Amino acid sequence: MYTSVLFVCTGNICRSPTADGMLRQLLAENGNDKINVDSCGTHGWHEGSPPDPRAVEEAVNRGYCIENIRSRPLKNEDYYDFDLIIAMDKGHFDYLNLNKPKDSKADIKMHSAFATDSEWTDVPDPYYGGTEHFTKAFDLIENGVKGIMKELQA
């Protein structure tokens, strides 16, 4: 059983804060406040920034609240503070595994490992795209987060 979940993407302003906010909300709606959820980026370019306004808008349209999340970079301590670390794409997965301390017990998994739709592996970065890219990313993230919820409730 996992007690803490960390979502990781590149800048922590699109994909990982979306997954973070979705999971927190679903856990709260199910009366589960015992699981620590957070998100971060492999890079600190946007440290302290809120999520991309397009992500916030898509979240609001779907009934999620993510605007209070602030970007932060991955820290070495995260490998010890979280028992499940979820990569949004293969590049993040490889980066996390390459930098994972040998004595860390954290499980590193792909977001898509929890999805009910097995036809995708990466959640594409919507940052350089338009609204339709955010819609697609949210569809994939929501699919995976629902799978994570099932795992956490098992």
Catalytic residue among 81, 83, 122, 125: 125
User: Is 9 in the active site?
Assistant: yes
Catalytic residue among 9, 24, 38, 78: 9
40 DSSP β-pair partners: 8
User: Is 15 in the active site?
Assistant: yes
User: Is 52 in the active site?
Assistant: no
Catalytic residue among 14, 15, 78, 89: 15
Which one-letter amino acid corresponds to residue 139? D
At which residue do the structure tokens 């919507």 appear? 126
Which one-letter amino acid corresponds to residue 124? P
- Give, in order, the Cα–Cα distances in Å from 34 to each of 79, 113, 141: 19, 23, 22
| Residues tagged active-site | 9, 15, 125
